[in-house]
Structure 1
């Protein structure tokens, strides 16, 4: 993008943020006529109205709202590029915004963030640990960590690693299941289902080319992974949980891995980004830190 078009994006976004050409001009230190003329030129080049003009206020059109989101992303990338070129391309600065599922966020992303911030003290972070899938551009997120099997969304992504899915329960519950030597024999046991999953009670186990299906009988249906985890620890029943959620419980003997000779499909760990030609140093270095943690965790 050439300099005039980049400047027009700045005039347009300043106008949207301030609500008028006059205040945008004051913010940018130019004449009001410059701002209004450049926004008009932008609309002419795009052949679409971006703003509705009234005597009192400017309002975005639907096309203007979509364009504003993209313009903000382009300007953030450009600002990052200039800032990092001035300080050295490998010196992360600014604010890193990250979203991740609540369970993975607490177990893996938080320690990764601590290691990253200790290494690059000029960076600040904003984190959201939530199971909702955010629109990265609308939420102004630098990187989202997403687990499992991703649909083709058109977003850019990098696979960081994988996690194992483990069938677990308390030691007391394991004694009740002691006679069940194969997955299909566990269907009558009390199960805890996680509604976040597409098929929370249907599982296919494999061993040396052999597959067995198991459909659990739920006594509890939980809304999220932390709730599922809590119910398993309380002894409500069996559940399938990611390895990073139950690793400490298995090591401490609070939970038992049932049928360890059988395996469930692994899930992927992915870093997902808004589409951009330029990826800021803070994002690249944070992903490298997280990928290194994933490699050591899975080793």
Structure 2
């Protein structure tokens, strides 16, 4: 075959067979009769066989034409089904959504969004990987990753979902046992829970309007390798530590934890949806990101 497969010519040919004439096929397709005749002639030239037997009243498929028509009908049905499936795929979520998120943010924010997502799209399956380790998107196994903190890898496309604040907290009982804590230097000697997931778990910069920023080098009382375990140690009254707001706001409001140095702030971090490089995003990904953005707006981490 001298040219690549031209599906349009298959459509012209099958229409002629089904309607019995070039005129009727042209009317069905909304084109000139000469276009249909020319395209079918080109198809016969490419194949090197006669597909149609022309009489004064009607066209009939030759034996080769009938065999070819049967195959063409299958090809066109499959092409139409594939196009329809992809069109639906672009509008309505289908299949399985696979994503990863840090354990703490996944439990606090992502899991409730997944519940809403599944309620709205019950046909969807969701595969979750909650892990503090950064999982590479290059292997094509993930649709998206939720990254919390500061992005360092620019090889993927990122969409900002919101931000988070960081709070230094302790139990009220433990906080009451400390000498007066009114400035960053006062917390350096406190018992700290060192969260090894963080890049610098014992070095923190505190800022306050009208004051110079202060860097605190803390002392480790207990070291853990997971954020939830560090959180459990703080809630058990072992020591103090820094956590993102989405983990501690409810406990602070309920009086289970106390925020230390509330007039000082720690660096805010970003929350991003990180996506593999692609021209188009399937509906399952777009809809989930929209729901994550709505969740962050409700949380007050992003402008409404």
Q: Would the TM-score normalized by the shorter structure come out above 0.5?
A: yes
2:283 to 281, 284, 295: 281
179 and 104 in structure 1: CA distance in 2 versus 1, 3 angstrom threshold: same
User: Could you tell me which residue of structure 2 aligns to residue 267 of structure 1?
Assistant: 269
Report 1:201-240 matches (<5 A). 201-210=202-211, 211-240=213-242
SS of the residue aligned with 2:90?
Answer: coil
The CA RMSD measured in Å over matched residues stands at: 2.0
Q: CA deviation at 1:209?
A: 4.2
Q: CA deviation at 1:212?
A: 1.6
* 8 Å Cα contact 1:100/1:130 also seen in 2: yes
* 8 Å Cα contact 2:172/2:256 also seen in 1: yes
User: Could you tell me which residue of structure 2 aligns to residue 241 of structure 1?
Assistant: 243
1:256 to 245, 258, 261: 258
| TM-score (ref. length: structure 2) | 0.69
* 8 Å Cα contact 1:84/1:91 also seen in 2: no
SS of the residue aligned with 2:220?
Answer: strand
Report 1:42-53 matches (<5 A). none
Aligned equivalents of 1:88, 1:266: Cα separation in 2:
37
Aligned equivalents of 1:202, 1:213: Cα separation in 2:
7
189 and 289 in structure 1: CA distance in 2 versus 1, 3 angstrom threshold: same
User: Could you tell me which residue of structure 2 aligns to residue 295 of structure 1?
Assistant: 297
Q: CA deviation at 1:90?
A: 2.3
Aligned length: 222
Structure 2 segments unaligned to the other structure (5+ residues): 6-80
Q: CA deviation at 1:152?
A: 3.5
Larger mean CA deviation between 278-287 and 184-193 belongs to: 184-193
* 8 Å Cα contact 2:143/2:275 also seen in 1: yes
Structure 1 segments unaligned to the other structure (5+ residues): 5-78
* 8 Å Cα contact 2:150/2:270 also seen in 1: yes
User: Could you tell me which residue of structure 2 aligns to residue 155 of structure 1?
Assistant: 156
* 8 Å Cα contact 1:160/1:269 also seen in 2: yes
241 and 88 in structure 1: CA distance in 2 versus 1, 3 angstrom threshold: closer
